[in-house]
Structures are given as C-alpha cells and as structure tokens.
Chain A
Amino acid sequence: MPTMDEVVAQLSGDEIDYQSLALTLGPDALPELLALAEAGDPAIAPKAVFLASLMQASDDVAPADVVRAGMQSGEGVVRVAAAASLANLSGIPTDLFGLLADADVGVRKAALDSVAANLDVGARDAVLALAAADPEPVLRALATDIASRLG
C-alpha cells in the first residue's frame, strides 16, 4: 500500500500520465486519494480526484467516494476535476449529477462534457434542466444535443 508521502510525490509532477499512474499506484491508494480530496488543496486535490476516477474500487473506498469529496469542495478547480472525472466512472451515483447544477460555469461545462462522453441516462433530468435554463447559451445548446442523444 503506498504511503501518503509516496502518493503526494507522484501527484506533484507538473504533467501527470494518469493512466500510467493509476496502474502504478492501484486501488490501494484510494484512501490516501480520498484524504487528499477532502483536504481540498487546489494544487493536489484535483489531481487526487481525477486519478481516483481511473481506478477500480478498493475494499474501503470507491472511486465515486473520492469524486463525491471533490464535488463537495469549496474550490472551483476541485469541483471541475470531479466533473471531468464523471467521464471515467461506470455506474455513476445519481447524486454526482449535482455537478451539472453547479454555480460555476466551468464545473457545469466539464460535467456536460463528461455526460456527453458516457451518455449515462441517469443524467437526463439534470441535462434537460440545463438545456432549458442554463445562463450560458453554449451550454444550453450542448445540453440540448446531449439530451436528444439520451433519449
């Protein structure tokens, strides 16, 4: 099991190969990634959230738990990472689609892009809400297109 210091060291790179790092650290790192996501440091937490989303669940922590911690962050960049991470999850818990209703336009855009990538029907109501009322015209158009594909 990697130590917290080892996980932080791996996340400190300016550029990270997430697919490779997910294989290197493996699900045993999920408790550390959850702790980093909850700590919310804008330099590390987004990386922890995104990395976790590429892993299988461990005995104690599911990737969605780490994404949820990111979703609850007060830092926009952490919530953006959580929203982008939705594209990597299979079987997304419906509460995570709350990212589509985030006050931050960057978070909503990242969440929409993720839904467009995996077309999870659980997102349908939230996407329809965006299509009807998002203040950003580009996001309304994108949501309308995604909603039509969700059926």
Chain B
Amino acid sequence: LLQLPLTIGGAVGAASATGVPATNARDDVFVVQGLLNNIDAAGGGASPKLVFDGLIGPLTVAAIRRFQQTQLGFQDGRVDPGQITIARLNVLAAVRCVRIHLKVLTNPTIPSATMITTMRRVFAQAAIGVELVSTQNLTLPLLNDLNVGSCPRGTTGPTTPDQDALFTNQDGIGPNEMAVYLVRSTIPPLNGCSTHPPGPFIRPGVTVVQAASAFTLAHEVAHVLGLDHLTTEAGCTTPDFNRLMTGCGTANITRLAPLLDATEIATLRSAAFLFAC
C-alpha cells in the first residue's frame, strides 16, 4: 500500500465492476469528502462543495467520478485504499500534517486515542492529517494542576512559571511539531489552554485537562493554528454547536465531525506549525 498522509481503511463510493459494494465506513467517507472539497473545481474537486457528513450518497459518488474523469481519465466512482484515486486526491489536495506528541501527566476521562481520532475526523475537512508521533508519561505532581493564568488563546504569552516549567519537557519533539500536555486540571479551571511559551527552542503546544470533551484537543490545537472562537454566539445566547470553534463548550457538540468554514480552513492550512507530509 502507498504511504499517504490521509488514508482510508476500506473502499468509498460505488460498488465495484464485479458488484462488490464499498464498505463506506464513515471515517473513510469523511476523508474522501474532505479531500474532494480541498481541490479546486478545475482540478476535479467537488463543485459545489460536499456536505461534510461522512455519509455516502449520490453527490459524493458523482464528485468521485468527476475527479477521476478529470485527473485519471476513467471513472468508476470508487476510492480504494492504497490505489491511484486516493493517492491522486492526496496530491491534489496538498495534504499537510500536524504532528502531535502526547505528554501525559493524567489520562483524560475520554481516552486520548478517542481525542486523536476525533481530531483526525475534524481536520480531514481541511485536508490536514494528524500524526500521533509519540506518547510519554510524565510524573510531575506539582504541575498536574497547572496554573495557566489568563491563558490568551493561541498565543505565546504571557505564560506562567508553571507553563514555562511544563513546556521544558520536550523530549523527541521536532521542528513544526506540537506538544499536547494532558494534565489533571488547570488554575483557573478550564478544559484546555492553547497558550505556550515562545520558540524557537520551545515547540508550540496545548494543555488539555482530565475532564475535557472529545473535541477539546482539536479545538485547542486549532487555536494554536490561528483560529479564534466564533463571533456570532452573542455571549452564548446563540451558540453554534455544529462548529469546532464554538466558545460555548465543545462538550455540547453532537455532530460526529463539527464543521469549519472556508475562512477557518484557509487559516488552518496556512498555519506555520503544519508539517509537510
């Protein structure tokens, strides 16, 4: 199989010529929809953009056929793992990656593996892959309830002495890679904090607490990559729980993959901390 940044585990789209149906696993469909939506129409990308819902339907199959016809000179409406269509989709969508190193002081209630899976699903709509590079357990009881101060979102400060001390634990983290510190709690109590000490020797990163939601990790990393909260929620009187960047609590999100708008996707894809994968 080809080594691709955004892969699928089973076939997506139409049945094969011999009648074998595609498995259309929802996470695989998310990947294909995300890739098709990040390719311009002239290059065979989805036009209009597909609804990013992970559900196969005639519009997604038609978009696959259109892409294949434009780029590959054939169309069977099906994307198979490790084959030419998924490879070409990765190239045309210019897939980039965020590389994550987990530093675990306290395991979160929602397993970190679930948080990573969720983040992959969400970031697929921006054609961004998520690589979990390493996991390291840290025994630092005095930093397990981390004082994060005012925690200005997605910035390099001001940081607290606690943050400065925690972020010195950078084993194995390379340039453009990101640290995720899983702690018991923060002071003041937050679900996560995206403030990190400045580089270049300290890598960017986030802090996520034990009681965080499945989406907190993706939300905090998105802050580091340049996204802020929605400006349309009017002090949470009109929250939008379909969106990753809700400022009213990602625990209230009910979609399998909360949405990013076109501006947010463009901001993410231009972020400095993405890895050329």
Contact B145 A77 (CB under 8 A): yes
Which 3 A-B pairs give the minimum distances between C-beta atoms? A12-B249, A46-B189, A14-B191
A46 to B183, CA, bound (A): 15
Please, could you name 23 A-B residue pairs with CB atoms under 8 Å apart, sorted by A? A9-B236, A9-B248, A13-B191, A13-B236, A13-B249, A14-B220, A14-B247, A43-B211, A43-B251, A50-B189, A77-B145, A77-B210, A80-B184, A81-B185, A81-B187, A84-B187, A106-B144, A106-B184, A110-B145, A110-B147, A113-B147, A113-B187, A139-B142
Q: List which B137-183 residues lie within 8 A (CB) of chain A.
A: 141-142, 144-145, 147, 151, 153
Q: For A24, what are the chain B residues with a Cβ–Cβ distance below 8 Å? A: 235
Q: A residues 1-48 with Cβ under 8 Å of B?
A: 9-10, 12-16, 18, 24, 42-43, 46-47
Q: Which residues of B contact A (CB under 8 A)?
A: 141-142, 144-145, 147, 151, 153, 184-185, 187-193, 209-213, 216, 219-220, 235-236, 239, 247-252
Q: Mark A31-74, 1 if CB is under 8 A from B, else 0.
A: 00000000000110011011000000000000000000000000
A12 to B189, CA, bound (A): 11
A53–B109 CA distance with the chains assembled, in angstroms: 27
Give the CA-CA distance A77 to B91 in the complex, in Å.
46
Question: Is B247 a contact of A15 with CB atoms below 8 Å?
Answer: yes
**Contact yes or no, A10 B145, CB < 8 A:** no
* CB neighbours of A15 from chain B (8 A): 151, 153, 190-193, 247
Most buried by A among B185, B239, B248, B251: B185
A-chain residues with CB within 8 Å of residue B147 when the two chains form the complex: 84, 110, 113
Complex contact B187–A105 (CB within 8 A) = no
Which residue in B144, B213, B235, B239 is a CB contact (below 8 Å) of A14? B213
Q: Which secondary structure characterizes the binding site on chain B?
A: loop
Q: How far is the CA of A47 from the CA of B153 in the complex (A)?
A: 18
Complex interface: chain B residues within 8 A of A80 (CB):
145, 184-185, 187
B interface footprint on A109-125 (CB within 8 Å = 1, 0 otherwise): 11001000000000000
**Is A145 part of the binding interface, using a Cβ–Cβ cutoff of 8 Å?**
no
Instruction: Across the interface, name the chain B residue whose C-beta is closest to A139.
Output: B142
Contact A50 B191 (CB under 8 A): no
Cβ–Cβ contact A105 & B142, under 8 A: yes
Q: Quick check: A42 and B142 within 8 Å, CB to CB?
A: no
**Are the CB atoms of A84 and B247 closer together than 8 Å?**
no
Contacts of B211 in A (CB 8 A): 42-43, 77
- How close is A45's CB to chain B, nearest CB, in angstroms? 9
> With A80-B185, A106-B141, A110-B187 known to touch, is A14 a contact of B212 (CB < 8 Å)?
yes
Q: Residues of A contacting B187 with CB < 8 Å?
A: 80-81, 84, 110, 113
List A contacts of B220 (CB < 8 A): 14
In the bound complex, residues from chain A placing their C-beta under 8 Å from that of B247 are 13-15
B251 to chain A, nearest CB (A): 6
For A12, give its contact among B193, B219, B252 (CB under 8 Å). Answer: B252
Q: Tell me the smallest distance from the CB of B151 to a CB of chain A, in Å.
A: 6
Q: Which residues of A contact B153 (CB under 8 A)?
A: 15
The docked-state distance in angstroms from the alpha carbon of A50 to that of B147 is: 13
Highest count of chain A CB atoms <10 Å: which of B153, B184, B211, B250: B211
Q: Report the bound CA distance from A105 to B239 in whole Å.
A: 38
